């Protein structure tokens, strides 16, 4: 049971409470704890009740001054041992730029839900990927509750505000689509065939005709391509940092997949393999890692290389602007238009859950509705 006292300060009368709820681990006996700085007795009573309840629930008095940074360090020391190098780099960057500057110095027990909501709102004004930032910060708070450092997770019921463009229905918004229609795609491939090297043309062809991720294509070795079975194995991704590269296994079992290749893409790959062998003989070099898409020194292409090529061609030929990831989206969209099932597209793209595939499917429903109307008309006119 706590006791309460009034005391004088330069700012006037204040209240404190004293309690013996804390057990000294060295002696096993209760020890007195004092908390000061309350404006009224009512505030002191409320704080004492909360303090005693926290002790009763197993929260340690030693955790009272831990900052968010302290808890992050504990959590990340364990978490970093379970993730890939590329994921580490992404998470460290997210915390360094967006999370620790806003939460790091605060005592984790004093971080409120209203403060968390304010910070998420602030981040959402300039960062589209605010949900990813919230997910990472939430892991630290979840760790703190699991370790009995805090009782409740202040980020648990915080909502992520929608971007302004999600509420607008303006004519220009349709141009935000991150995929190409069939005629746009055919035009792009004719440009790459005409203006790019065989290697770059084949690389873009493979991205478009398989829906593979950029890192998966850049990590391909010739052993991954079975020309007889007309298939390609996607089981690793390329990660580059500090001028070095490593091949990492794909993140999920769904990402590790064997998919079919069309005859046209297979023929292009055969031509590329012959050309690569001729170049290695001419320059007396060896492709020791058996990489499909290499630079002149037989190292993998830079991760940003394809992005740069794509942007140059889009600007030069005034194409609808998309990203490299938009080529993957394009593949999925056109598969749906061609009549592939959601399950088939999910397996080909290596999506972990079907909701990811459904998100793409919603982008082409208008086209599919138009096709349904055409089918009805054709049937009636027979």
Least confident of 108-117, 179-188, 191-200, 251-260: 251-260
Core vs surface per residue 242-267: b (16+ CB within 10 A) or e: eeebebeebeeeebebeeebeeebbe
225 & 317 share domain = yes
Tell me whether residue 321 is in a domain: yes
The pLDDT of residue 182 is above 80: yes
Domain that holds residue 323: 182-373
pLDDT of amino acid 375: 64
pLDDT of residue 354: 79
pLDDT at 346 over 70: yes
The domain boundary, picked from 31, 58, 85, lies at 58
Residues 238 and 355 grouped into a single domain: yes
pLDDT at 140: 96
Residue 366: per-residue pLDDT: 58
Q: Are 209 and 349 in contact (CB under 8 A)?
A: no
240 located within any domain: yes
Task: Indicate if the pLDDT at residue 55 is higher than 80.
Answer: no
Residue 199 and residue 333 share a domain: yes
Same structural domain, 112 and 199: no
179 φ/ψ angles, rounded to the nearest 5 degrees: -160, 160
Query: Average of pLDDT values for 58-83?
Result: 82
Kindly state whether residue 378 falls inside one of the protein's structural domains: no
35 Rama class: left (phi>0) / alpha (psi -120 to 50) / beta:
beta
Instruction: Report the pLDDT averaged over residues 46-70.
Output: 76
Q: Which long-range contacts (CB under 8 A, 24 or more apart) does 198-203 make?
A: 198/268, 198/271, 198/272, 198/275, 199/272, 199/275, 199/276, 199/293, 199/294, 200/306, 200/309, 201/268, 202/265, 202/268, 202/269, 202/271, 202/272, 202/293, 203/293, 203/301, 203/306
Same domain? For 193 and 162 the reply is: no
Examine the domain organization and report whether 126 and 161 are in the same domain. Answer: yes
pLDDT category at 60 given cuts 50, 70, 90 is low
Dihedral sign, CA of 303, 304, 308, 310?
positive
Mean pLDDT score of the chain:
85
Verify that 89 and 124 share a domain, yes or no.
yes
Same domain? For 94 and 195 the reply is no
In a domain, 253, yes or no: yes
Cα(102)–Cα(105) distance, integer angstroms: 8
214 lies in the same domain as 315: yes
pTM of the complete model beyond 0.85? no
Residue 313 lies in a domain: yes
Mean predicted confidence (pLDDT) in 87-91:
87
Tokens 């793209």 belong to 349
- Based on the domain organization, do 108 and 203 belong to the same domain? no
Predicted confidence (pLDDT) per residue in 230-244, tens digit: 999 999 988 877 778
CATH number at residue 307: 1.10.443.10
Asked which of 166, 194, 209 is the last residue of a domain, the reply is 166
**Residue 173 domain-assigned?**
no
Question: Do β-strands 231-234 and 225-226 pair in parallel, antiparallel, or remain unpaired?
Answer: antiparallel
pLDDT at 377: 61
Q: Are residues 187 and 299 in the same domain?
A: yes
Distance of CA 227 to the CA centre of its chain: 34
Residue 283 lies in a domain: yes
State residue 173's pLDDT score. Answer: 46
Give the residue, 80 or 358, on which the prediction is more confident. 80
pLDDT at site 171: 41
Higher pLDDT among residues 114 and 38, named by residue: 114
User: Could you say which of 137, 166, 195 is where a domain stops?
Assistant: 166
Strand order in the sheet with 3-9: 3-9, 12-23, 30-38
pLDDT in tens, 133-178: 999 999 999 999 888 788 889 999 999 987 655 444 444 445 578 8
If asked whether residues 271 and 149 sit together in one domain, one would say no
In a domain, residue 177? The reply is no
How many structural domains does the chain have?
Answer: 3
Domain with 124 in it: what CATH number? 1.10.150.130
Out of 3-17, 45-59, 266-280, 292-306, the most confident range is: 266-280
């Amino acid at each position: 049971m706590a006791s309460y006292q009034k005391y004088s300060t330069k700012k006037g009368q204040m209240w404190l409470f004293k309690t013996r709820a804390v057990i000294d681990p060295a002696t096993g006996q209760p020890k007195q704890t004092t908390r000061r700085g309350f404006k009224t007795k009512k505030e002191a009573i409320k704080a004492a009740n909360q303090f005693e309840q926290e002790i009763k629930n197993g929260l340690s008095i030693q955790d009272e001054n831990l900052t968010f940074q302290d808890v992050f360090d504990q959590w990340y020391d364990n978490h970093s041992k379970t993730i890939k190098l590329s994921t580490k780099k992404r998470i460290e960057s997210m915390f360094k730029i967006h999370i620790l500057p806003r939460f790091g110095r605060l005592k984790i027990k004093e971080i409120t839900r209203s403060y968390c909501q304010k910070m998420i709102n602030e981040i959402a004004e300039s960062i589209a990927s605010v949900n990813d930032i919230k997910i990472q910060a939430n892991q630290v708070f979840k760790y703190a509750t699991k370790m009995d450092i805090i009782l409740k997770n202040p980020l648990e019921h915080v909502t992520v505000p929608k971007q302004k463009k999600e509420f607008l229905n303006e004519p220009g918004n349709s141009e935000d689509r991150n995929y190409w229609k069939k005629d746009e795609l055919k035009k792009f491939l004719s440009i790459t065939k005409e203006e790019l090297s065989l290697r770059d043309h084949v690389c873009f062809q493979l991205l478009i005709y398989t829906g593979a991720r950029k890192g998966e294509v850049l990590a391909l070795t010739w052993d991954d391509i079975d020309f007889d079975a007309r298939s390609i194995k996607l089981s690793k991704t390329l990660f580059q940092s500090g001028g070095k590269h490593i091949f990492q296994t794909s993140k999920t079992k769904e990402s590790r997949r064997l998919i079919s290749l069309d005859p046209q893409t297979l023929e292009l790959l055969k031509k590329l393999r012959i050309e690569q062998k001729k170049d290695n003989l001419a320059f007396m070099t060896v492709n020791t890692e058996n990489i499909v898409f290499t630079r002149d020194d037989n190292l993998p292409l830079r991760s940003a290389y394809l992005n740069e090529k794509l942007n140059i061609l889009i600007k030069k030929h005034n194409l609808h602007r998309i990203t490299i990831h938009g080529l993957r989206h394009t593949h999925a969209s056109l598969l749906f238009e061609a009549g592939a099932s959601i399950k088939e597209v999910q397996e080909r793209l290596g999506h972990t859950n079907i909701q990811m595939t459904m998100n793409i499917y919603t982008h082409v429903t208008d086209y599919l509705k138009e096709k349904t109307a055409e089918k009805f008309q054709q049937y009636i006119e027979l």
